[in-house]
């Protein structure tokens, strides 16, 4: 147990500091401070020792150098039970510092605000980060408080223990300090390395949500990040690991249909229903019709407000999660009547530019597939030209294929997913799966379109598609045998377009 006799307090944000100051005053702790923090403490009638009194040196270079001095860092770092350190401390008249309360300049907030480069550079903390590391290193003797998020806990700790701390306390706060400092340095590195000139990946996320379990009940799971920045949960049970994976898949897909009223239903990250229509009610009805069996227990998402009319239909289905940009009061009242349903309001678009996954003892990182095939990408390679309606259907189907596990084939018509073959080891198997599924739900494929996430190595897929009435095809192209598929389409009056963009998804 270590008694606190002196404390260095130097913080950027003073919110919540007063209870700690009062506690230090009550226990007659010597307070050392500087600059704005010193003035703040003095305004509250507390006695303060200026840092300059210990260093015999003024704050210089516009405040860039204030605490960087042996009399400060010596008072923190010297080992209380080390005879040599004790002798040097006495020789150089270094005063002990038992408690360090410091926070850091808001570097990340400054970057996010769009500030100038010069302003951002000035928010790189030097003295604060050095004090945090020094105090955390000497946790055997010094307690470090490195964030205002810790103030409440510190007040409770010091109140309960009479302004003392145990080794376990100091070690815990040291770990928190290194969490703060490493995260801060990561943010600075990523700012300077925005173009990726320096090899290496730095990922730091301090917000953790423990999940019920991972992908399966015997696996532990957690989410790291600020989910509320994108999705606001209105009601329902806690989101599971699998819920979150499927929610991301559903939101990413529905965002493809900007400017249209769209509805998607996802199961195990693959779409089992997708539709666009003039109303959200019609879009939902068409999406559900694609596969009402798989929709049971699925994830639902729309880019349009959920009104009472569509809510009454959705209410009939058992589903895990519903995501929408907004809900009418009447719809929300109805849907909330079942308390375990997870209702989510999407408050921002997905903003990730990169994706990362751990494997083989390392990290695999790539740019997110943010390419959406557009009409300007289409190159007609057949004699037959797709009609305007077919072009709309081709682009619709391509968006779904982009978000479906490879190998995939998507069959669609009139803004509706008819069926898809997903995650197959051959493209032919994916097509057979899609055809069988469409037929099982009574869809007529005649006049429909087919989308593939990658090129056709042989003409077999267009041959099979022709046999069930598919009239137009969209694919990336790029096979050495592209001409075989083109020749078959020409012979049978089918149109085909190449996009030049593959959309594998594993």
Could you give the residue numbers annotated as active site?
137, 268
Phi, psi angles (nearest 5°) of residue 274? -145, 135
Q: CB within 8 A of 384, min separation 6: which ones?
A: 489, 490, 493, 494, 495
- What are the DSSP calls for 240-308, one per residue? PHHHHHHHHHHHHHHGGGTTSEEEEEEETTEEEEEEEESSHHHHHHHHHHH-TTTTTTEEEEESS-B-H
Please list, in sequence order, all residues whose beta carbon lies within 8 angstroms of the beta carbon of residue 119, skipping any fewer than 6 positions away: 110
Task: State the DSSP string of 120-155.
Answer: HHHTS-SHHHHHHHHHHHTTTT-EEE--GGGHHHHH
Radius of gyration of the chain, Cα coordinates, nearest whole angstrom: 31
| First and final C-alpha spacing in the chain | 54
Q: Which of 201, 141, 143 is nearest to 176 (CA)?
A: 143
**SS3 of residue 344 by DSSP:** strand
Placement of tokens 């050095």 in the chain: 130
DSSP letter at 65 equals: B
Write phi, then psi, for 411 (nearest 5 degrees).
-115, 130
Handedness of CA 149, 112, 204, 234 (dihedral sign): positive
| Cα–Cα dist 19/237, whole Å | 37
Bridging pattern class, strands 298-302 and 319-324: parallel
Joined together, the tokens standing for residue 163 give 């302004």
Evaluated on CA atoms 305, 306, 307, 313, the torsion sign reads positive
């Amino acid at each position: 147990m270590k008694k606190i006799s002196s404390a260095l307090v130097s913080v950027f944000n003073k919110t919540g500091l007063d209870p700690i100051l009062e506690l230090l005053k009550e226990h007659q702790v010597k307070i050392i401070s500087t600059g704005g923090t010193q003035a703040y403490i003095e305004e509250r009638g507390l006695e303060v020792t200026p840092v300059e009194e210990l260093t015999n040196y003024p704050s210089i270079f516009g405040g860039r150098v204030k605490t960087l001095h042996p009399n400060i860092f010596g008072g923190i770092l010297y080992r209380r039970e080390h005879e040599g350190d004790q002798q040097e401390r006495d020789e150089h008249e270094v005063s002990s510092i038992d408690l360090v309360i410091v926070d850091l300049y808001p570097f990340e907030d400054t970057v996010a605000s769009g500030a100038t480069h010069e302003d951002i550079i000035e928010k790189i903390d030097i003295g604060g980060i050095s004090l945090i590391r020094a105090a955390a290193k000497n946790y055997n003797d010094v307690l470090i408080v490195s964030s205002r998020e810790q103030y409440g806990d510190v007040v409770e700790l010091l109140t309960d223990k009479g302004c003392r701390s145990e080794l376990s306390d100091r070690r815990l706060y040291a770990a928190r300090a290194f969490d703060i400092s490493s995260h801060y340095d990561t943010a600075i590195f990523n700012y300077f390395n925005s173009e990726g000139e320096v090899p290496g990946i730095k990922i730091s996320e301090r917000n953790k949500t423990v999940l019920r379990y991972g992908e399966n009940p015997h696996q532990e799971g957690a989410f790291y990040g600020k989910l509320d920045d994108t999705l606001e949960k209105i009601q329902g049970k806690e989101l599971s690991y699998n819920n979150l994976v499927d929610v991301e898949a559903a939101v990413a897909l529905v965002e493809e249909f900007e400017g249209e009223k769209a509805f998607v239903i996802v199961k195990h990250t693959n779409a089992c229903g997708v539709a666009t229509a003039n109303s959200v009610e019609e879009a939902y009805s068409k999406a559900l019709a694609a596969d009402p069996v798989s929709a049971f227990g699925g994830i639902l998402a729309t880019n349009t407000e959920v009104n009472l009319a569509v809510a009454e239909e959705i209410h009939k289905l058992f589903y895990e999660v519903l995501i929408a940009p907004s809900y009418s009061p009447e719809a929300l009242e109805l849907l909330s009547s079942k308390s375990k349903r997870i209702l989510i309001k999407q408050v921002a678009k997905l903003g990730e530019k990169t994706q990362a996954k751990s494997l083989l003892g390392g990290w695999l990182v790539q740019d997110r597939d943010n390419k959406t095939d557009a009409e300007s990408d289409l190159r007609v390679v057949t004699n037959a030209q797709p009609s305007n309606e077919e072009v709309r259907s081709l682009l619709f189907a391509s968006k779904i294929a982009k978000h479906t596990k490879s190998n995939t084939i998507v069959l669609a018509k009139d803004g509706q997913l008819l069926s898809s073959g997903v995650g197959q080891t051959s493209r032919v198997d994916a097509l057979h799966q899609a055809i069988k599924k469409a037929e099982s739900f009574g869809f007529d494929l005649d006049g429909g379109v087919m989308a593939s996430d990658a090129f056709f190595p042989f003409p077999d897929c267009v041959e099979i598609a022709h046999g069930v009435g598919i009239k137009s095809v969209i694919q990336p192209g790029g096979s050495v045998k592209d001409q075989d598929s083109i020749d078959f389409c020409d012979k049978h009056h089918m149109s085909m377009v190449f996009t030049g963009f593959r959309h594998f998804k594993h």
